[in-house]
Structure 1
Amino acid sequence: MPELPEVAALRDFLAERLTGRTVQAVRPVAVSVLKTFDPPVTALEGAAFTGVARHGKFLALAAGELHLVVHLARAGWLRWQESLPAAPPRPGRGPLAVRVQLAGPQRAGFDLTEAGTRKRLAVYCVRDPAEVPGIARLGPDPLAPGFTVETLRALLAGKRHRIKGVLRDQSVIAGIGNAYSDEILHAARLSPYRLADDLTEHESQVLYDALDATLRDALERARGLAAGELKAEKKVGLRVHGRAGQPCPVCGETIREVSFADSSLQYCPRCQTGGKVLADRRMSRLLK
């Protein structure tokens, strides 16, 4: 799933290629991804893109008086093409969901695609991005100038939930998902199961520093990359997420995993939990 750094890089990539160019055609292929119907996405045709904004993990492409808002979810992606196929796309079982073609003889544009069977890619056509419920609920952006350690402490206060889940909660902090929450907690040497409002003042400072450094480092690595390179770069830069069974790059301990119904987390027992291996209920059931 693309998170804040990748979505920010996509924003820059698209802003450079879209601003000032006119929409020739918007072709929905998988109608299920369209979450709004008035105005229709085809209302964007004939309008010129004026900019691209990021709201958490949402992209908002401004064209005329409308905005094409995209949430790529877990398996969605944006594929830029300098020359789209001349034949219009046909509905089918492939990954293509929406095609946006720009005016001009080269037929440049992009496809919104989604792999897998669990379809969560979401596309909205709205007059104001705030009309999108997910954007309206967003918490503060962790890379905004006003996001300080005091801001973080205030957000965590009273949260009797595991810090892993709080970091992923978009209504608390916008843009952090499963991968970077693992990376942040590893850098902060905090258990993913610690309760958010139990952190000491020192621990909240360490968490803030880890959050800021992790996201800014990932953002710097992603900066300037083409859309097709961002997934690979994200994976290369991860230290614990997705690396269960491998040695921790800090201490050499084996990275462990806890699996849930539709996700998993990875952590280092020595760095984060005082050597304790967290219970993995799914593995426990398999061993019975």
Structure 2
Amino acid sequence: MPELPEVEALRGFLTEHLVGHEIVRVLPVAISVLKTYDPPPTALEGREVVRIGRYGKFLDLDAGGLHLVTHLARAGWLHWKDRLPDGPPRPGKGPLALRVALETGEGFDLTEAGTQKRLAVYVVRDPAEVPGVARLGPDPLDDTFDEAAFTRLLDGERRQLKGALRDQSLIAGIGNAYSDEILHAAKMSPFKLASSLTPDELHTLYEATRTTLTEAVARSQGVAAGRLKAEKKSGLRVHGRAGEPCPVCGDTIREVSFSDSSLQYCPTCQTGGKPLADRRMSRLLK
């Protein structure tokens, strides 16, 4: 799933390639992709792109009073085309969900792999009309997101750190991958209760959050849209690397599986050397 660093890189890429150009076609291919109907996608045609914004994991294409807001979900992606194919795309069972064409002949496709169709596109007059945007918590890379603000967010949170970091209404933009990376950098168990953190631990977690995301954004800057997935994977130290040695201590990276996701961690760095039990089978270790 694209998270804050990748969506921020897409924002930069699209700013370079879209701003100042006219949208000539918006062609939905998969009916499931559109989550709004008024205004229709055709209302964007003939408008100039004036800005590309980001709200957490949401991309916002601002066409001068109308917004095409996209959430790529778990298996969605954006593919830039220097030259779009001639003729309209044919609806079918393929991954193509929506196409946006410019007056230059360039444009992009939104695709989604797999059978679970969660990629979402909204055409709205204000991004705040999108429910997912309206409920977002603060952006962790915003200048106002200081340590005091972070401490206030976690004050009294009785959830485990993994779940708290992934809650978009608490902090916007962090998903499964970067929550693993942040907790590894902070040397904390994903199952530790947020409410149990000491002031020193809150400081450590705040610094790990800012540093991990800032470094990931820096790695992704200037990377073409088609290479962002590979860039993300290459920069991850524990997420998706179960069975490999930890780059810090050399211990074997472990995994805990859930019904529809998994987390990865290093026992030596994060849990005092103790492997975490599967949440479905026993109590969570803290």
TM-score by shorter chain over 0.5:
yes
Q: Structure 2, unaligned stretches of length 5 or more? A: none
TM-score, L = length of structure 1: 0.96
Cross-structure match for 1:82: 82
Cross-structure match for 2:127: 129
For 2:98, what is the secondary structure of its paired residue? Answer: strand
State the one-letter code of the partner of 1:15.
T
For 1:209, what is the secondary structure of its paired residue? Answer: helix
- Counterpart mapping for 1:271-286 below 5 A: 271-281=269-279
Cross-structure match for 2:254: 256
Q: Say which of 116, 119, 124 aligns to 1:118.
A: 116
Residue 31 of structure 1 and its aligned partner are, at CA, apart by 1.1
For 2:132, what is the secondary structure of its paired residue? Answer: helix
- Equivalent-residue separation in structure 1 for 2:135 and 2:145 (angstroms): 17
- Equivalent-residue separation in structure 1 for 2:64 and 2:135 (angstroms): 25
Q: Does 1:96 align with 2:103?
A: no
- Equivalent-residue separation in structure 1 for 2:64 and 2:181 (angstroms): 39
- Equivalent-residue separation in structure 1 for 2:136 and 2:231 (angstroms): 26
For 2:25, what is the secondary structure of its paired residue? Answer: strand
Residue 64 of structure 1 and its aligned partner are, at CA, apart by 2.3
Residue 46 of structure 1 and its aligned partner are, at CA, apart by 0.5
Q: Structure 1, unaligned stretches of length 5 or more? A: none
Q: Does 1:47 align with 2:47?
A: yes
- Equivalent-residue separation in structure 1 for 2:186 and 2:36 (angstroms): 40
Cross-structure match for 1:194: 192
Cross-structure match for 1:30: 30
For 2:9, what is the secondary structure of its paired residue? Answer: helix
State the one-letter code of the partner of 2:255.
E
- Equivalent-residue separation in structure 2 for 1:138 and 1:27 (angstroms): 28
C-alpha RMSD of the superposition = 1.0
Residues 86-130 of structure 1 show CA distances to partners (whole Å, capped at 9, x for unaligned) of 0210110100000000013xx100000000111110000000000
Residue 281 of structure 1 and its aligned partner are, at CA, apart by 4.9
- Equivalent-residue separation in structure 2 for 1:132 and 1:242 (angstroms): 31
- Counterpart mapping for 1:1-288 below 5 A: 1-104=1-104, 107-281=105-279
State the one-letter code of the partner of 1:187.
A
Q: Measured at CA, do residues 243 and 123 of structure 1 come closer, stay the same or move farther in structure 2, by a change above 3 Å?
A: same
For 1:194, what is the secondary structure of its paired residue? Answer: coil
* Misfit runs of 4+, over 6 Å: none
- Equivalent-residue separation in structure 2 for 1:153 and 1:281 (angstroms): 27
TM-score, L = length of structure 2: 0.97
Residues 195-253 of structure 1 show CA distances to partners (whole Å, capped at 9, x for unaligned) of 01110000000001111110010000000010001000000000000000111111111
- Equivalent-residue separation in structure 2 for 1:141 and 1:177 (angstroms): 13
Residue 175 of structure 1 and its aligned partner are, at CA, apart by 0.4
